[in-house]
Structures are given as structure tokens and as C-alpha cells.
């Protein structure tokens, strides 16, 4: 699979490229938007790692152009930026980023998030998302837990979908709230939906793990 790295700091660009290549990915690196635009017209990547502060077009401008182009709108984009405030993360996610990591970052976590996003792409190609015995069909918007059909509300469905697209990745509470509810939400709203979702999934609800003081993740029993 091909990953584009758009980053103007050479040391970070080399670090990301090295880690991804060691994980078996093909990588192309770009330090500015012009070279990136020229290349993506020739070869479409499977995922893009995108910095915000570049020497020409900033990362959010690039992201906006990608989301407006039908040919590129579905490419997963992970922003990796030195802009670390909650407002910066919300803005990036609202503009269509699939994930947002702050510098300095863990290389192992970066690779893990890349793998999770690419698994989500592969699952989406078939219209089916799954984890263990939890199965979601996006074509029919139905969910099964083992042999049982599970009736979910719209928000519960979107919450479960977010977990299924990001298996084994810790999702921060604020990021989940921004993705599912937007700005008009509270932590209590999320906690109530998590409890209800676990209950509806029955014995498989145990896979939704609480990560204390951080958020939640979908994972097997440890």
C-alpha cells in the first residue's frame, strides 16, 4: 500500500518514512504542496499523513481541496501537527481529517493508527465492518452481535461504526464527541451512549474498553 507523507521538516519526514517502510508500506514524501499535487494526479495513495504548517499551501487548504475532489475525497488523511489545542483538532476533524495526532508523537502509535485506518478502508470496500463477532453492514445499516440482530439508534450506530473503523486504537473522549455529536455535547452524553451500546451488544459489549482519563477503545480482553 502507498502512503504519502506531506511534511516540511526533514527530520520528521524521514522518521515517518522509515517507520512506515519498516512496517511494509511504500512511501513517497513531499515537503510542499506543489510536488504533492503533481504526484497525486499521477498516482493515488491509499493514505496521507499531512502536516498543517507548510511553506506554501497549509495542510488544511490541502485537506479542503482533497475533500472537494471526487477522485480524492475518500482517501484517509491523518493530520500530524504541532498545533495542539482542542480548537485546532476540532477544526481539522470538522474539515474532513480522519484522525489528528499532535507533535511530538509516538512512532509506534502513528504506525498503529495508519494500520487501523487502512483496515477501515479495506472493510469499507465490501460494505461490511467487523470485529470479532460484531458485524455491521453499511449497505443495509444493520448490526449483528453473534447471531443476534441489534437495534441501534442513529447515534449508537455512528458510535459503533467509529469503533469498528478504529479497532484497538484509543479514541479520546473529546474526539469522539466532536465526531459524533459536534460541539453541543457533554461527557455524560458519551458515557450514557457507551453504557447503552455495551448493553445492546450483550456479551460482546465487553470489547468496548474504558481507558481511564483518556477515552475508549474497541479491543479484545487483555
The pLDDT tens digits of the residues spanning 68-110 come to 887 788 889 999 988 878 788 888 888 888 888 888 888 888 8
Pairing state between β 208-211 and 148-150: unpaired
Please say if the pLDDT value at position 203 is more than 90. yes
Give me the phi and psi of 35, to 5 degrees please: -65, -35
Give 156's pLDDT tier (boundaries 50, 70, 90): very high
Q: So where are the chain's domains?
A: 2-120, 127-218
CA 88/CA 4 separation, integer angstroms: 22
The widest CA-to-CA distance across the chain, in whole angstroms, is 54
Predicted model pTM:
0.60
Give 213's pLDDT tier (boundaries 50, 70, 90): confident
For 180-198, how does the pLDDT look when each residue is reduced to its tens digit (9 = 90+)?
887 666 778 899 999 999 9
Distances (CA, A) of 101 to 34, 43, 191, 206: 23, 25, 23, 27
Q: Are 118 and 1 in contact (CB under 8 A)?
A: yes
Q: Please give the pLDDT value at position 121.
A: 64
Give 12's pLDDT tier (boundaries 50, 70, 90): very high
Q: What is the chain's mean pLDDT, rounded?
A: 87
Q: How many CA atoms lie within 13 A of 164 on its CB side?
A: 27
Contacts of residue 164, Cβ cutoff 8 Å, sequence gap at least 6: 120, 123, 129, 130, 131, 134, 136, 218
Secondary structure element (H or E) that encloses residue 178, with its range = helix 173-180
| Rounded (to 5) percent helix, strand, coil in the chain | 45, 20, 35
Domain 127-218 CATH assignment equals 1.10.3720.10: no
CA 10/CA 91 separation, integer angstroms: 26
**Coil, strand or helix at 49:** strand
Secondary structure element (H or E) that encloses residue 119, with its range = helix 107-125
Q: Please give the pLDDT value at position 125.
A: 55
For 108-149, how does the pLDDT look when each residue is reduced to its tens digit (9 = 90+)?
888 988 988 887 665 555 567 888 889 888 778 889 998 899
Please say if the pLDDT value at position 222 is more than 60. no
Looking at domain 2-120, which CATH architecture does it have? Answer: 3-Layer(aba) Sandwich (3.40)
**What percent of the chain shows pLDDT beyond 90?**
35
For 45-64, how does the pLDDT look when each residue is reduced to its tens digit (9 = 90+)?
989 999 988 888 888 999 99
Amino acid at each position: 500500500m502507498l502512503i504519502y507523507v506531506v511534511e516540511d521538516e526533514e527530520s520528521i519526514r524521514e522518521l515517518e518514512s522509515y517507520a512506515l517502510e519498516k512496517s511494509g508500506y511504500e512511501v513517497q514524501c513531499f515537503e510542499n504542496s506543489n510536488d504533492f499535487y503533481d504526484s497525486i494526479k499521477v498516482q493515488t495513495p491509499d493514505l496521507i499523513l499531512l502536516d498543517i504548517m507548510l511553506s506554501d499551501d497549509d495542510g488544511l487548504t490541502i485537506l479542503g481541496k482533497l475533500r472537494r475532489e471526487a477522485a480524492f475525497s475518500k482517501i484517509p488523511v491523518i493530520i500530524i501537527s504541532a498545533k495542539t489545542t482542542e480548537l485546532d483538532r476540532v477544526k481539522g476533524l470538522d474539515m474532513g481529517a480522519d484522525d489528528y495526532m499532535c507533535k511530538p508523537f509516538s512512532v509506534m502509535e502513528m504506525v498503529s493508527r495508519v494500520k487501523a485506518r487502512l483496515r477501515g478502508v479495506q472493510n469499507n470496500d465490501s460494505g461490511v465492518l467487523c470485529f470479532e463477532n460484531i458485524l455491521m453492514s453499511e449497505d443495509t445499516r444493520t448490526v449483528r452481535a453473534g447471531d443476534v440482530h441489534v437495534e441501534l439508534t442513529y447515534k449508537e450506530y455512528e458510535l459503533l461504526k467509529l469503533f469498528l473503523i478504529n479497532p484497538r486504537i484509543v479514541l479520546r473522549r473529546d474526539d469522539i464527541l466532536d465526531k459524533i455529536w459536534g460541539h453541543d455535547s457533554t461527557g455524560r452524553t458519551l458515557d450514557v451512549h457507551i453504557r447503552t451500546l455495551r448493553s445492546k451488544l450483550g456479551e460482546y459489549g465487553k470489547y468496548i474498553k474504558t481507558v481511564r482519563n483518556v477515552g475508549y477503545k474497541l479491543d479484545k480482553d487483555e
